[in-house]
Structure 1
Amino acid sequence: MIDVDAIKTRILSMMEQLGMTPSAFADQACISRSALTHLASGRNKVTLDMINKIVQGFDEWNPEWIIFGHGPQKRGETDSSDMYGGDLFSSASSVGEITPTEAHRESVSQHYFAPKSEPEVRIIEKPEKQIERITVFYSDGSYQEFRRATASK
């Protein structure tokens, strides 16, 4: 299970380490300023879309660290403080499994965090509407109805 509160803490830590204001951070990540403010205040939880935009906007930061808290904070760094003694995949090599290459990690990252294609917009032409009748109501309770003349064939 993903701990959204921990992700929020890591996002706020990123902002602090970068020395960025919430507005500048939101602008670089292409998320709304109010979304970041609501996240920081605890009003809203972090969303997958927000995580995706932050990962794309700050591509030097390690997505595994942002989401799971594993591995180094930035790509290409080593993390000596990791309690498992390496990155997310290091336990695999200790049991004799093949460790994914950096290229594989990059392709997985691009697969999960790639920008979505824009939806196709289709314009549907509707027939022109025509007035068939108009009803006028008077203050004395009476009314008068006017109907469109129909063409006789």
Structure 2
Amino acid sequence: MIDRIKELMEAKGLTSTQLADGVDVPRAVVSHILSGRNKPSLDVMVKILSVHRDVNTEWLLLGEGSMYAKNFSSQITSSNSEKAAAEAENLIDTIPRASPSLENIPSGKVVPNVQPAAAQASKTLERIVYFYSDKTFEAYMPG
């Protein structure tokens, strides 16, 4: 399991600090897991899976199948900009379930638009999220 957590971190470009902060566990917990001192608890694994919903549960827990769940496989590429877009989408998906504080979200990330113009034409606006410097946010859902 430790190797799969490390592989997940590498695939998403996360440091141990970012992983710990992102899943709301103490940094020492992740450090001890990665060093092999402790095995990950079920609580830690559930938190990782709840934040990283694109990750295949069977892969993370049992090492079976591919890293990403089937319904997210279209987002997976070797391009850094597409990885950033997928990470941002996962982050936005967690906002309604999270508290209004955004302490765990890295600031200053800009996510490029990686969709071709033809694909954008068929899209409709779902929501706009404003992030403020005091680590609060507001979501606007049109019509």
For the aligned pair, the TM-score class normalised by the smaller chain equals 0.3 to 0.5
Q: Which one has the bigger helix percentage?
A: 2
Q: Could you tell me the TM-score, scaled by structure 2's length?
A: 0.47
TM-score, structure 1 as length reference? 0.45
RCO higher in structure (CA 8 A, sep ≥6):
2
